Structure 1
Amino acid sequence: MSHLLSGFPRSVLTPNLVGVARSAFFRRFSVPEPSSPYSSPTCHDFSGTTDMVIQERDHQKLNCILEACKFSSDFRTAFQSHAKIIKFGYGTYPSLITSLVSTYAHCDCLDLAHQLLDEMPYWGFDLITANLIIASLMKVGEFDFAKRVFRKMLRRDVVTWNSMIGGCVRNERFEEALRFFREMLNSNVEPDGFTFASVINGCARLGSSHHAELVHGLMIEKKIQLNFILSSALIDLYSKCGRINTAKKVFNSIQHDDVSVWNSMINGLAIHGLALDAIGVFSQMEMESVSPDSITFIGILTACSHCGLVEQGRRYFDLMRRHYSIQPQLEHYGAMVDLLGRAGLVEEAYAMIKAMPMEPDIVIWRALLSACRNFKNPELGEVAIAKISHLNSGDYILLSNMYCSLEKWDSAERVREMMKRDGVRKNRGRSWVELGGVIHQFKAGDRSHPETGAIYKVLEGLIRRTKLEGFMPATDLVLMDVSDEEREENLNSHSEKLALAYVILKTSPGTEIRVSKNLRTCHDCHCWMKILSRLLSRVIIVRDRIRFHQFEGGLCSCRDYW
């Protein structure tokens, strides 16, 4: 064993780290801390198996014990094994350090994982081990620390880069994913299909049309072979970037032998409010003898929901069970509750929830709450609120907006007091636009942009022009019992209005405008953009949390049903 340990400094796991491990152990399990740094709280706290493995110097079995701790989230045995490793002088053995870091990260003991990595010799990690550590840290959301490990690596392969890029996407750091991809292209490592799958997903989530074209072009240039995963990803990419016609072209140019390709096309059409097109694709799917799966029907039901096709939605829900023997899951019931709720059939939506064979989840209750807000049914809205165990800001806002629209200011104030009591802050609207390959982000009421003065000047001019055309701000949506002027000021600084004003400031007349938003667009902004599209003779495409809206000539593609 000595030749395996040669070259590794004995101070990797210092007394300081031992103290951290001990303190974490005793805090977690409320055990009185002993006087000796290396002693256990009681004699039975360390398993005989661990003792035996250490004394036999069988590092492979010890790794197996740590792996078992990781998969079973056995904190106690992991801490015990750590203490024994230090006590018996194995604190510098790289594979055991790796297992400990991975186990702590997996068990959410990140303070120990951090200090272990801080005090270890990074050159002692082999490539496979380092890749596993990065993947493990990304899995538990420790992006910054995974990046630190990545930067200290002397050698990287395609798995290393894929772990970083995929981890960025998993942790919703989409711009970081693109930066790592650019860095990878400048290295001597060639991207593979897995790389492009992650990058495409990141571009889709970001809605970056510019990067979508670059990445697709690069795939063609590098002769990356399309499989059903990449084909589905490309359709999803163009759909989410607002380029549904390009998504259709991709769909028509590839093989349709896998159901996931059909699902991507149907879902893409659904978020664009093209329900009849989605139904047409489903019919084509049936004619080509491709069996739909549960995801197919989620897409079809969503498409029906966005367009108010209640009877068609009911028919597909029944077809799924009767003809294809697919038992509805939570997502299908959620889509049906959303379909009925959007159509104003709030009581029927509630009846479906009560008839479900499984416990409804938060998403379903929120769909009902949203319907109650839209159709002013506070009694049922309070039922939905009572069923949501962990309220977030959106739930409070829906309920408060409902009371405000009914001018029940006392009830709205009670909701705001509940928010304060529970420490819930309103989720600020955030919108972003892409110009010249650069993403510009705006928050509601934002004044942090370098060109804030010019942006607000353009916005004020646009608001004046829309008012002359008859636009009336929807001040009843503002959840405050304040003057109309204050409410109007609140509405005027919504993030999508700021983003749109910036694009108008920076582009020439007639240029198509694309805006993405993290929340559902409000009724006020929706009405405003319809008028603005007619005034400016420009197409305005907004992707919100739910779907796409294409404003043109004073009309919206959603036909005011969203």
Structure 2
Amino acid sequence: MKPSRLNQHSFLFLLREASASASAAPRRRLPPLHALLVKLGLQPYARVHNALIQAYGATGLVADARRVFDGMSHRDTVSFNSMIHGHAMSSDVGAALRLFERVPAPTPVTWTSMVAGLCRAGDVAVARRLFEEMPVRDLVSWNAMISGLVGNRRPVEALSLFRRMMAEGFVPNRGTVLSALAACAGAGALETGKWIHAFVEKKRLFRWWDEFLGTALLDMYAKCGAVELALDVFTKLRSRNTCTWNAMINGLAMNGYSTKALDMFRQMELDGTVVPDGVTFVGVLLACSHGGFVDVGREHFYMIEKKYGIGLILEHYACMVDLLARSGHLQEAHKIIAGMPMKPDAVIWRALLGGCRLYKDVKMAETAISEMEATCSGDHVLLSNLYAAVGRWSGVEDVRRIMRSKGIEKIPGCSSIEINGSIHEFISGDKSHPSYNDIHAKLAEISARMQQQGYVTETAEVFYDVEEEEKEQALGHHSEKLAIAFGLIGGPPNVAIRIVKNLRFCADCHKFAKLVSQIYHREIVVRDRARFHHFREGACSCNDFW
């Protein structure tokens, strides 16, 4: 195109083409286009300047975008919106907020850009305050806030906002459904997830569940412990991509269906329409770890690069170390860590630490703690519990002293359960729940029935300077026990009790859940920090190995 024939419309076309280019191409092409804009005298057009700001912002050249914005003789709302969005997406929230306060007539787009940027920067409290102050909200505004809450690991709050959005008459679109399903997965809110599934089908919001929506749906079911429903969605999908297969393989592995997960991987290879990637092998190795398939795990681990040409990542090493450590091969696990081409992170050392707990290898645990430079209370508590289990009380005191000196506080256990569409959260030792008296009475009833079965509280890992009776009382108020008791009194009969916990199961609570499932003939599904536990008639899917 000759320069003489360039006008604002053709220039806008060139900007769009340059911005849509892959990799670093836009960064190279935009400055010459900007120079051409000046040379041709197209600067008076606000529309052209706005497009240039958007192009610079979209390619991460925010400083260049700001120079264009500051040089404009006339700025409209679109100019402000584009610049606020650019600052917000580059996590410069301060600059975005200062600009936001100067907007003469902010539109829903202005507010939404600010909300999305704050969420991206992790400042959810300010984002929520701005959202509530919005004079007018559209569906995009709701989606931005709900998605922001999900991205900042606040799924319960996201679902509450989703319900409010629906109550105010907004019809969810594709983005809303994806965020809401992700929130259900994060909170373990199976009932709400089922309702969303049924709502989409009833209202025919989409022609069908494509591979992206279908993957989100089956991922939600898998992360809520409803494996059969996840498999049903997987089977009915018209098309599947690699992410779909990965979600199903990882979902099966996470829920303890190790053999089925490996069968699914073989089906994926036979299918031939998709290619395994790094995430696929995280699921495969996770299945081997949870199933205790050491030889199969070794085979896949050493074939990832050789056979499939996929570079090993931290997650692959973490799964392999976990598999070996769980199976008692602690020295081999440590050797793999020592040979890693990248620096092992806390997750790697934590996997080794878990094996040390199982096999009471104090020396190796001490090595892991020192190497990982642990700052998480859970790691120190695990080592402390290991000392307690082998009777090394001086070690318990040492850990306590280190935690105090580093200002590390123990993270309280938190468990949530969904009853009739509402999510109830319990903190260990907390008595603030409205039904606490009923819960306490139910726990007393459970305790009496369990003692008839010969149940003895597992107090070995509780600190030594607490009297035995106090130990039992402390363990009796762990968050998952409160949630299980509430599920027995508040949930419908003959329906599985589903709980999400922020920490790993302790030995006593695991034993408690097994006995409750046997005495009350109720299935109990608990998702802890590491995996799912499906309790049925006194047995757990993890085979007491977690």
TM-score band w.r.t. shorter chain: 0.7 to 0.9
Distance in 2, matches of 1:147 and 1:508, equals: 34
Equivalent positions of 1:41-440 (< 5 A) are 60=49, 71=60, 117=100, 119-120=101-102, 124-187=105-168, 189-223=170-204, 224=206, 225-289=208-272, 290-440=274-424
- After superposition, the Cα gap between the structure-2 partners of 1:158 and 1:61, relative to the gap in structure 1 and judged at 3 Å, is closer
- After superposition, the Cα gap between the structure-2 partners of 1:272 and 1:412, relative to the gap in structure 1 and judged at 3 Å, is same
The answer to which of 160-169 and 242-251 deviates more is: 160-169
* Aligned match of 1:529: 513
Do 1:63 and 1:99's aligned partners in 2 also have CA atoms closer than 8 Å? Answer: no
* Aligned match of 1:9: none
Q: 1:506 aligns with which of 468, 473, 490?
A: 490
* Aligned match of 1:22: none
Distance in 1, matches of 2:381 and 2:111, equals: 45
Do 1:308 and 1:561's aligned partners in 2 also have CA atoms closer than 8 Å? Answer: no
SS in 2 for 1:365: helix
The answer to which of 392-401 and 374-383 deviates more is: 374-383
- Which digits, 9 at most, give the CA deviation of each residue in 1:186-234, with x for residues without a partner? 4565322222111111111111111011111122123213221111111
What amino acid maps onto 2:394 in structure 1? D
Q: CA shift at 1:492, angstroms? A: 1.0
Do 2:93 and 2:118's aligned partners in 1 also have CA atoms closer than 8 Å? Answer: no
- Which digits, 9 at most, give the CA deviation of each residue in 1:232-277, with x for residues without a partner? 1111111111211111111111135411111111111111100111
Distance in 2, matches of 1:523 and 1:510, equals: 26
Distance in 2, matches of 1:448 and 1:90, equals: 59
SS in 1 for 2:308: coil
Do 2:80 and 2:110's aligned partners in 1 also have CA atoms closer than 8 Å? Answer: no
SS in 2 for 1:323: helix
- Which digits, 9 at most, give the CA deviation of each residue in 1:447-486, with x for residues without a partner? 0111212211211221222122111211112134322222
- After superposition, the Cα gap between the structure-2 partners of 1:103 and 1:538, relative to the gap in structure 1 and judged at 3 Å, is same
- After superposition, the Cα gap between the structure-2 partners of 1:109 and 1:286, relative to the gap in structure 1 and judged at 3 Å, is closer
Distance in 2, matches of 1:157 and 1:493, equals: 44
SS in 1 for 2:460: helix
Distance in 2, matches of 1:484 and 1:108, equals: 52
Distance in 2, matches of 1:355 and 1:159, equals: 48
SS in 2 for 1:476: coil
- After superposition, the Cα gap between the structure-2 partners of 1:128 and 1:291, relative to the gap in structure 1 and judged at 3 Å, is same
Distance in 2, matches of 1:409 and 1:193, equals: 56
5+ unaligned residues in a row in structure 2: which ranges? 1-37
- After superposition, the Cα gap between the structure-2 partners of 1:105 and 1:325, relative to the gap in structure 1 and judged at 3 Å, is closer
Identity %: 38
Distance in 2, matches of 1:253 and 1:102, equals: 40
Distance in 2, matches of 1:281 and 1:478, equals: 41
1:515 aligns with 2:496: no
- After superposition, the Cα gap between the structure-2 partners of 1:137 and 1:509, relative to the gap in structure 1 and judged at 3 Å, is closer
Distance in 2, matches of 1:275 and 1:148, equals: 45
* Aligned match of 1:442: 426
- After superposition, the Cα gap between the structure-2 partners of 1:242 and 1:66, relative to the gap in structure 1 and judged at 3 Å, is closer
Distance in 1, matches of 2:61 and 2:454, equals: 64
What amino acid maps onto 1:453 in structure 2? N
Q: CA shift at 1:374, angstroms? A: 2.0
Distance in 2, matches of 1:61 and 1:508, equals: 57
SS in 2 for 1:560: coil
Q: CA shift at 1:552, angstroms? A: 1.5
Do 2:442 and 2:485's aligned partners in 1 also have CA atoms closer than 8 Å? Answer: yes
Matched residue pairs, number?
501
Question: RMSD of the TM alignment (CA)?
Answer: 3.2
* Aligned match of 1:44: none
Do 1:516 and 1:542's aligned partners in 2 also have CA atoms closer than 8 Å? Answer: yes
- Which digits, 9 at most, give the CA deviation of each residue in 1:489-512, with x for residues without a partner? 211111000111112222465443
Q: CA shift at 1:522, angstroms? A: 1.1
The answer to which of 173-182 and 215-224 deviates more is: 173-182
- Which digits, 9 at most, give the CA deviation of each residue in 1:378-420, with x for residues without a partner? 2221221122235111111111111111111111111111111
Distance in 1, matches of 2:76 and 2:237, equals: 51
